[in-house]
Structure 1
């Protein structure tokens, strides 16, 4: 591969990928008006989890996420485990398509057929996959300033609208640490931070290998603080009502009103969601396609784009019947404990232990 990812591009992709759909759906709602404490508390274990991923990278130089398992566990054990990841990422791409389906159809285009909404998004994802990681890296460069500018603008406009009330965050920790722990584990450490293992598929393509850990950690720290800040702003506006909103960022933009002139900014929330969801979807899809290519020794992953796009489109249309089922049943009750926890937390930790043991045994 001739193209090499720059440090700034890696930072942009990591930062935007971690924000992904997290902000638009909210984070830490289980903790009520202490949601921002839950978000902040998830940051430290999140950094620890990502340090596991970066340690695996250092101990498996030049190998991708998919290649780690056969390299350390052998062909007969490692290859079947590695095959689980492309399947997971196809499923996750389908989930994001379902996210787009639900949000767009319930906010800005309520009368539009779902096949049109999901079909257009899936087509854009497929088109970006043909461009490969180079296109995604350049897209991240463009989206990053927009996301940061939006955050700063929203903060200024909320302050100018006079809707922030400090008493909404009080009393702090009135229900103790139990709700905070429910935010942190297992959803908090998997949704934003555990998913970052996706980027390991592209770490071998980074120009300066020595800076990957620092860049990834810094991007994680910044994204965690941005998520905490969004939660804090939402709690300042809504208090305990924050946990009742399905799309708190979209709702938060609706309360902005400066001089009865700057208002009705919800469209910016949808555009933000679309941009970050698109980058995350393309990275997930590329991880699945390149993973299958590496495991099957195929010459080019692009021949699989159309079949994979059809699969994720069908998944996005059929995996859930409504928003409640999609978010609360499939995500919280099924995806997080039974898929994300073993695949983005347990398996990488086990693999790291095996790698350490094998490295120690090889030393004279």
Structure 2
């Protein structure tokens, strides 16, 4: 497999933006009320452990994407079926996320625009990015990463200065026990978005180091 020029920082930027994605729209951990912050904290820990599995598979098959070594592990027929399900699953995920952002844009800035028009425009952007290739996509992701990081930093500073962050709202901690936290954590808190990082098993073989 030809090594294309994607370095570790570009991979990190892609993963960072991927994890943000539409996760902010899902309001994960809401049922845990004041303990909602514990859900993403635990999900991050479990997500890192899950990603170690992806990394270990990559180290064992460094020149093959997931759809390649799945066939090698499970055999031609079962492996091909799993690979096909993987592709269909992420086509579904991509379609759902596209729909989420369409509805977000319709309800905020583009309320007089057809949702189909927005979908077509966003799809053409995706087609163009695929046409340019993964290297160009990775470079643009680094630029977006900087913009997002600065935006989040400024917003958080303004929240602190404005007095909107009240630590007392987190109390009492674990007032309702671990029940609601585990319900929010398993499976949604782990699978979205950390479980979906499995998609990067298709990119890892293309790293330059």
TM-score (norm 1): 0.55
- The residue that corresponds to 1:153 in the other structure is 154
Q: 1:176 to 1:2 in 2, by over 3 A?
A: closer
CA contact (8 A) 1:42 1:188 kept: yes
Could you tell me how far 1:30 is from its partner in structure 2? 1.9
CA contact (8 A) 2:3 2:207 kept: no
State how far apart, in whole Å, the 1-side matches of 2:138 and 2:202 are.
13
State how far apart, in whole Å, the 1-side matches of 2:128 and 2:141 are.
16
**Greater RCO, 1 or 2 (C-alpha within 8 Å, sep 6+):** 2
State how far apart, in whole Å, the 1-side matches of 2:49 and 2:7 are.
24
Gaps of 5+ in 2: none
1:1-364 aligned within 5 A: 1=2, 3-208=4-209
Q: After superposition, what is the alpha-carbon deviation per residue over 1:158-189, rounded to whole angstroms, capped at 9, x for unaligned?
A: 11212222221111111111111112110011
Gaps of 5+ in 1: 209-364
CA contact (8 A) 1:5 1:137 kept: yes
TM-score (norm 2): 0.95
Could you tell me how far 1:195 is from its partner in structure 2? 0.5
CA contact (8 A) 2:13 2:142 kept: yes
State how far apart, in whole Å, the 1-side matches of 2:151 and 2:94 are.
25
Q: CA RMSD in A?
A: 1.3
CA contact (8 A) 1:39 1:183 kept: no
State how far apart, in whole Å, the 2-side matches of 1:109 and 1:77 are.
45
State how far apart, in whole Å, the 1-side matches of 2:14 and 2:173 are.
34
CA contact (8 A) 2:22 2:101 kept: no
Number of equivalent positions:
208
Could you tell me how far 1:27 is from its partner in structure 2? 2.6
Could you tell me how far 1:26 is from its partner in structure 2? 2.8
State how far apart, in whole Å, the 2-side matches of 1:81 and 1:173 are.
40
- Secondary structure of the residue aligned to 1:192 is coil
CA contact (8 A) 1:22 1:191 kept: yes
State how far apart, in whole Å, the 2-side matches of 1:12 and 1:83 are.
28
Higher helix share: 1
State how far apart, in whole Å, the 2-side matches of 1:19 and 1:32 are.
21
